[in-house]
Amino acid sequence: MCSQDSILSVIRTSAAEDPDREYLRIGGRSFTRQEALDQVERVGRGLRALGIEAGDRVGVMCDNRPETLFIWLGVNAARAIDVPFNAEARGRLLDYFVHDVGPRVLVGTEDYLRILADAITDDPDYVVCIGESSGTPFGDRARQIGFDELVALGAESTEELPAPRASDTATVMYTSGTTGPSKGVMLPQRYYPAQGEHAANLMGVGADDVVLCVQPLFHIDARAFVVTTWVAGGVVAIGRRFGVSTFWDEVREHDATIFSTIGTMLWMLFKQEPRADDNNLPARLAICSSTPREILHGFERRFGVDLIEAYGMTECVLITSAPAGDTTPGRIGRAIPELDVRLVDDTDTPVAPGEVGELVYRPREPFAMMQGYWAKPEATLEAWRNLWFHTGDLVREHPDGLEYVGRRKDSIRRRGENVSAWEVEEAVAAHPKVLEVAAIGVPSEVGEEDVAVLVVPLPGQDLAPEELVEFVAKDLPTFAVPRYVEFVDGLPKTPSERIEKAKVRERGITAAAWDANVALGRR
């Protein structure tokens, strides 16, 4: 396994070694290594032909399809910076993303381009439409071309695409804020192959493996699995989205030897009615996170796969894990060899084994994790205080591995997504009938958490929970829209009149809380 400085170098090396070997399955199509390289370089040259230069940003909002993957990789090949937007982002949050990062190009299918055009106030120079188009969502606000036109521009170009440097910024990926707005995580070109090498070595991914990934490409998990597979020389199959009733059919269709899951996916699969062929799968290994301890071994026995529990984040996608066959329920493994990891107290002093501390880490090689937060130097310095990156996650060390205890930060984890309590509160507080609000996570029956808000209405105002949920849905991703709404007379405060979130979380919600799943038939 030869170390590379960029994904482009990984693909070029693979194509040079065996150009006709299968490399990728996505959107019902299969691509060889050479075909994938050709598409990536044509997109890169096409962007260069439009005048996109190194360091320019290209925003992408789209579901999993071949064009989404090739835009990401083509942008990186042009040494520009790709910015994947969560496909569920809407309204003010989406406008914030675009204003913050300032992309010169926006890419998406026509429906996503319309969502962008309706939400944002800072227009790009170019819009690239994927697939069929019946109009121009941005009108005369930006020049629109089709994705196929972009590829054709690249095919006509003879410009060389020099390999990116390890230190060049490849991606700005927005991750949930805690006490403020979402932050753009800056990932260097070396980040992707480095993380792929770490994962392939630890998890034993090889050239004969077919890895199935159904997570969206705007998440770091999906991208990590793509690069891990390619670094190992295998074939990656990318599904459109996770469906609990179709997932095992996809595993069998692709003859997948490895599959990836996050959040509540394993729990949802385990809750399905047992089938006679549950144990008759081609898969030998599943890479997962946040696996409920009560089902881990039961899942392995029922489906005949080994589970590898891993812990990471956008800033560094693999921090702790355990080798296949050595995963312990309720543990997140141990630190990977490529990182220094500590558990520390509030003064950054290491805690004794068995005590709870915040997990901090730093890499042993350059450009293998995030570079910083886009346009937020203070947040970068705060995260990197005392020369250790602070995760905000509380962990306890046991003789058989590390135990994830919870978050120090004001964040909610719902179905594999990090939800900023601050952003939920901002959306709710914008309602003219709301005086105060506190957003918290409450346990979900399918694992992780659901979003709940405790709301103090303005005196004399009659506010229905349905009205409030409909109002915030315009500005929040679907996964962040509160499930529970409870109206209260007041919220606990500090002497400085700040809401005491610790007391709010301790209180939780009561039987008086309105439940959108019951009232609206939502899931």
Q: Which of 154, 134, 194 is nearest to 9 (CA)?
A: 194
Q: Rounded CA gap, 284 and 76, in Å?
A: 33
3-state secondary structure of 21: coil
Output the domain CATH number for residue 133: 3.40.50.980
Give per-residue pLDDT as tens, 45-68.
Answer: 999 999 999 999 999 999 999 999
Q: Rounded CA gap, 150 and 356, in Å?
A: 52
Same domain, 119 and 44: yes
pLDDT at 1 over 70: no
Q: Rounded CA gap, 435 and 74, in Å?
A: 47
Same domain, 32 and 112: yes
Distances in whole angstroms, Cα of residue 159 to Cα of each of 45, 47, 72, 155 = 7, 11, 19, 10
Residue 288, Cβ neighbours under 10 Å: how many? Answer: 19
Same domain, 392 and 428: no
Distances in whole angstroms, Cα of residue 21 to Cα of each of 31, 34, 193 = 9, 8, 20
**Number of folded domains in the chain?**
3
Give the phi and the psi of residue 76 in degrees, each rounded to 5: -65, -35
Give per-residue pLDDT as tens, 367-410.
Answer: 999 999 999 999 999 999 999 999 998 899 999 999 887 777 77
Average pLDDT (439-449) is 87
Give per-residue pLDDT as tens, 239-251.
Answer: 999 888 899 999 9
Same domain, 473 and 348: no
Beta bridge partners of 434: 457
pLDDT at 411 over 90: no
pLDDT at residue 502, rounded to an integer: 79
Last residue of a domain, one of 356, 373, 407: 407
CB 270 within 8 A of CB 302: yes
Give per-residue pLDDT as tens, 105-130.
Answer: 999 999 999 999 999 999 999 999 99
Last residue of a domain, one of 361, 382, 407: 407
pLDDT at residue 180, rounded to an integer: 66
Same domain, 171 and 287: no
3-state secondary structure of 406: strand
Same domain, 166 and 226: no
Identify residue 284 by its one-letter amino acid code. R
Report yes or no on 467 lying in a domain.
yes
Helix (H) or strand (E) holding 340: strand 339-344
Same domain, 384 and 281: yes
Does 333 or 499 have the greater pLDDT score?
Answer: 333
Q: Rounded CA gap, 474 and 481, in Å?
A: 9
Report yes or no on 186 lying in a domain.
no
pLDDT at residue 394, rounded to an integer: 87
Same domain, 218 and 198: yes
Give per-residue pLDDT as tens, 259-293.
Answer: 998 767 888 898 888 999 999 999 999 999 878 77
Same domain, 90 and 212: no
Distances in whole angstroms, Cα of residue 131 to Cα of each of 36, 68, 74, 115, 146 = 19, 11, 17, 16, 7
Report yes or no on 293 lying in a domain.
yes
Cβ within 8 Å of residue 145, ≥6 positions away: 50, 126, 127, 128, 129
CB 422 within 8 A of CB 177: yes
Output the domain CATH number for residue 201: 3.40.50.12780
Cβ within 8 Å of residue 65, ≥6 positions away: 26, 27, 130, 240
pLDDT at residue 426, rounded to an integer: 78
Q: Rounded CA gap, 92 and 84, in Å?
A: 17
Q: Rounded CA gap, 392 and 259, in Å?
A: 28
Last residue of a domain, one of 407, 425, 453: 407
Does 265 or 434 have the greater pLDDT score?
Answer: 434
Count, residues in the chain: 523
Average pLDDT of the chain to the nearest whole number = 93
Report yes or no on 52 lying in a domain.
yes
Distances in whole angstroms, Cα of residue 323 to Cα of each of 201, 265, 293, 309, 328 = 10, 21, 17, 9, 10
Output the domain CATH number for residue 486: 3.30.300.30
Same domain, 332 and 424: no
Regarding beta strands 434-443 and 449-457, do their DSSP bridges make them parallel or antiparallel, or are they unpaired?
antiparallel
Same domain, 239 and 170: no
pLDDT at residue 495, rounded to an integer: 52
172, HSE (Cβ side, Cα atoms, 13 Å): 23
Report yes or no on 39 lying in a domain.
yes
Give per-residue pLDDT as tens, 316-373.
Answer: 999 999 888 888 988 999 999 999 999 999 999 999 999 989 999 999 999 999 999 9
3-state secondary structure of 269: helix
Report yes or no on 251 lying in a domain.
yes
Same domain, 145 and 202: no
Q: Rounded CA gap, 322 and 317, in Å?
A: 14
Average pLDDT (174-194) is 87
Range of the domain at 480: 411-519
Beta bridge partners of 188: 169
pLDDT at 498 over 70: no
Give per-residue pLDDT as tens, 83-109.
Answer: 999 998 999 999 999 999 999 999 999
Q: Rounded CA gap, 402 and 336, in Å?
A: 12
Report yes or no on 185 lying in a domain.
no
Regarding beta strands 57-61 and 105-109, do their DSSP bridges make them parallel or antiparallel, or are they unpaired?
parallel
Report yes or no on 184 lying in a domain.
no
